Amino acid sequence: ELKVEQNPLFLSMQEGKNYTIYCNYSTTSDRLYWYRQDPGKSLESLFVLLSNGAVKQEGRLMASLDTKARLSTLHITAAVHDLSATYFCADLSTAEKLVFGKGTKLTVNP
Amino acid sequence: DAGITQSPRHKVTETGTPVTLRCHQTENHRYMYWYRQDPGHGLRLIHYSYGVKDTDKGEVSDGYSVSRSKTEDFLLTLESATSSQTSVYFCAISEQNPTAYEQYFGPGTRLTVT
């Protein structure tokens, strides 16, 4: 069974702090995706990681991929309230299908 | 934003009635997907299409059927709606560009089955 496990599922942090969300997956895929979802909204693509060692950064978010460990991380630097959302990672299970984790609900408190 | 629309955006229906949800794209992408999102489950794939008239089942396909007669439209049908199909349904599209298969999501349809 294909699995994508995120942890933590809930994360409450203070503004200005750093934290990491972890995404473990079970396939031998070398592609991993991160999405953001605001309450009541659709999913927005954040990062597409296409190879082992890939690292991408956008503002206060940085994503990385270790295919040997089957692990991707989403690192948050100096969190701000606007980053409050639910973050999903997804693994490319076959040539065209994604398997999603359950999501990490991030709340950034002032 | 990717050109994806879903209709209706909200629907309330009774148990046992048929329901059809529509996904329309203006991007001419080859792949289209239907997901459902439920609390505690993330997104789960219902059905997907890899071309006109080419479809396949996903993880949670029981009780659902799909059709794709044109590149731009992908229909999801609940033949006889049940309360367990109350959910938010998202359509997504993707293209092999070049190998990313990045998926872009529509705005979602909130379906309530009473």
Q: What is the pLDDT of residues B32-88, one digit of tens each?
A: 999 999 988 889 999 999 999 999 999 999 999 999 999 999 999 999 999 999 999
For A50, which residue in chain B has the nearest alpha carbon? B100
Q: Is B32 inside any structural domain?
A: yes
What is the model's pLDDT at position A107?
97
Average pLDDT of chain A is 92
User: Is 90 exceeded by the pLDDT of residue B99?
Assistant: no
* Interchain proximity A101–B42, CB inside 8 Å: yes
Using DSSP, how many helices (H) and how many strands (E) does chain B show? Answer: 0, 11
Structure confidence at residue B2 (pLDDT) = 66
Is B95 a domain residue?
Answer: yes
| pLDDT for B4 | 96
Per the domain annotation, does B89 fall within a domain?
yes
Cβ-proximal residues to B101 (8 Å cutoff; 6+ apart), any chain? A31, A92, A95, A96, A98, B31, B94, B95
CATH architecture of A4-109: Sandwich (2.60)
pLDDT at B42: 87
Measured CA to CA, the distance from residue B66 to residue B64 in angstroms comes to 7
pLDDT at B98: 54
User: Residue B13 maps to which CATH number?
Assistant: 2.60.40.10
62-91 of B, contacting A, C-beta below 8 A: 90
Q: Do B42 and A103 touch (CB under 8 A)?
A: yes
pLDDT, chain B, mean: 93
Domain count along chain B:
1
Do A30 and A50 meet the contact criterion of CB atoms below 8 Å apart?
A: yes
Cβ contacts (< 8 Å) between A88 and chain B: which residues? Answer: 42-43
Q: Does A29 touch chain B (CB under 8 A)?
A: no
Show me where the domains of chain A are located: 4-109
Query: Domain limits at B93?
Result: 4-109
B57 burial (CB, 10 Å; 0-12 / 13-18 / 19+) is middle
- pLDDT tens-digit series, residues B20-32: 999 999 999 999 9
* B114 found inside a domain: no
Q: Which residue is closest to A92 within chain B, CA to CA?
A: B101
Model confidence at A95: pLDDT above 80: no
